[in-house]
Amino acid sequence: MILIFLGMPGSGKGTQAQLLAQHHNFVQLSTGDLIRHEISGKTPRGLAIQNLVEAGEYVPDEIILELVESNLLRGVKYIFDGFPRTLNQAVMLDKILKERGMPVSRVIQFAIDDKTVSERLSSRLTCMKCNHVYNRMTSPPVKEGVCDECGSTELKLRKDDQPQSIAKRLKVYEEQAKPLEDYYISQGLLISLDASLPAQTVGQQLESLVLDRNV
């Protein structure tokens, strides 16, 4: 089963993907995480894209597709989190999945407004070690400054969660999102969720979708 999570940065798709992966045996494939891994490892690819990412721009499609293809295993249930993000990526993904006999089951759109996500992103704290995400206001770690999951004390505001990069990321998202949504609507795959609801409610709605035998 392949699920695709579409939504603005800060719409909660990463958090929900993490939870669903834990409880329902999915592998979460986040292109953002793969990219941050390349950057923190200072690989040639990471060094080439670091400036783009920190400025809130998209990484070129070829690099994204190489990263995804090299991490894709047959027979695994995936949640694609933050990928595809452009129409070209979606078309290329279909080709890659077709070759492997792995059709997309559902595309979940996390619908939310700019103002809510800007507020969420600027109070987001990310564990630099295990990528677990907190919100200073609504879901802080149990012990201030310490990751509940791995004990790391490196809980930081990501460079691209600084105000200037946030504005850029939302603009880039809006430019690319519509054709992508239309593509999946035309295939009858898109389901929209109200991502401004509390995380627990969104999680319950997602679970019932995924447990639905018709998915």
Which active-site residues does the annotation give?
13, 85, 124, 158, 169
Name the closest residue to ligand AMP (Cβ).
32
Candidate list 4, 59, 72, 170; residue touching ligand AMP; CB under 6 A = 59
160 binds ligand AMP (CB under 6 A): yes
Judge contact between 15 and 21, C-beta under 8 A: no
> How many amino acids of this chain bind ligand AMP (CB under 6 A)?
17
Nearest to ligand AMP of 132, 169 (CB atom): 169
170 binds ligand AMP (CB under 6 A): no
Q: Residue 8's closest CA among 201, 212, 176? A: 176
78 binds ligand AMP (CB under 6 A): no
7 binds ligand AMP (CB under 6 A): no
31 binds ligand AMP (CB under 6 A): yes
12 binds ligand AMP (CB under 6 A): no
- Helix-strand-coil split of the chain, %, nearest 5: 50, 15, 35
**What is the nearest approach in angstroms of ligand AMP to the Cβ of residue 150?**
18
H/E segment holding residue 17:
helix 13-24
Give the C-alpha separation, 160 to 182, whole Å: 28
132 binds ligand AMP (CB under 6 A): no
CA dist 161 to 17, 156, 167, 209, Å? 20, 10, 9, 30
Judge contact between 3 and 105, C-beta under 8 A: yes
Give the C-alpha separation, 110 to 99, whole Å: 28
Candidate list 58, 78, 110, 184; residue touching ligand AMP; CB under 6 A = 58
Nearest to ligand AMP of 64, 72 (CB atom): 64
161 binds ligand AMP (CB under 6 A): no
**What is the nearest approach in angstroms of ligand AMP to the Cβ of residue 24?**
21
Nearest to ligand AMP of 35, 210 (CB atom): 35
Give the C-alpha separation, 200 to 205, whole Å: 9
Give the C-alpha separation, 145 to 121, whole Å: 17
Contacts to ligand AMP by CB under 6 A: 9, 31-32, 35, 53, 56-59, 64, 82-85, 89, 160, 169
